Structure 1
């Protein structure tokens, strides 16, 4: 079962249940089940007006989260008996909070990016009273969650990479890191310039995801990722170096094709010409 809850749930209570029986009211039973779980596990949880229980281990120091936010989350979901429902504890998942179960839409707003804790979700804020795609009707769901702050994690990843590879990188105000091996002596590009650049792009594990030939490729600087629009302007014609690009200046939390969400990208670049 993979990322089961990443669905719009307005249909849960109308037409997507596994049976057509009248909905049962599990609220009282769910409340007792959650209260017992909290007591048995020595947890200090807060109850909201909706019946959601939550525990804040770390509130987080990143961006605030609203009901319409895009967020990236590492999580483990399980039942009160400990059986795992679903989990993604590596790169996590990136979602919009309007597209998940109500318990997530509400619960994640108690955190900021970088925060972590637990959500204990009664069935009326999860999958409802009937069976749904393998989840028994009336189930209480528990999620250990970590809201990813990509700005912080990407910067740490870049600094670790630079240190491990003896790079003397400069950080700009946007969070881009760059290394100038050769500044170049020709024309210096502007944000709107058409340029020709030879490059190799790879991840911090040195896996290459894209590479030009020695002649490079031509493009307008205002039509590429922000890390390139900014970074290539630090060179003149004939210049070469390295761009270490955080995901906020590349493909963001959702990624693109072969680029995972939240990925740091590194480019060896050689500015062949400003056209």
Structure 2
């Protein structure tokens, strides 16, 4: 546990989050001590986040929330609310679209709820007189987003499960949860460094027999990747993987023959051969 206190003193939050993931088995064996460390972590992080730049804070807040949601660490309700609010404000300085995406992860922040309903303010539709004025303690079903953006992604996920039955498969994994930024940053140009904190990989396959390290990386491309902005983002993502000398497998569903999990399995096996 001393390692966490040392990293807190040095404000090395990416390293703290990485250690939280890699040392999970030993931390669970010392639950009381780990809970005390988590109390210090949330206090120090909130103090740190209130003083740092939005580009750094936004990503760290997102990772903190992800770790708590996945039960990697403890977080009080009050601290989660504060971290969600800090993250919302940081993302709003950078991008409205990214702020909305982060808001969808938030469960405690009123700012997140307001951001998600904001587009409805300009619709010209008057609220019903019977509309409740109190905030429900339950999630609004019409606010929820499905895990996959398309049937294509759902089919590809099923294909990955069939090809890698003993592995863990996660969609939409942020680059900051894949690469150690301090290790890779010197190999990246400025545009790649900036994109590192924004980029997401469609599917990552983790090996539970190898300390749950990421092993395979896949992007499911479509005609939406043909516009200029999408090609630019794809190139930046490719450059980051090239710098790490790790293949990023891209699967392009150009024809109807690549719209079933069975056909995807054939393609996946060829790529990893």
Short-chain TM bin: under 0.3
Q: Which has the higher helix share?
A: 2
Q: Which has the higher strand share?
A: 1
Rg larger in 1 or in 2?
Answer: 1
Task: Tell me: higher relative CO, structure 1 or 2? Use CA pairs within 8 A at least 6 residues apart.
Answer: 1
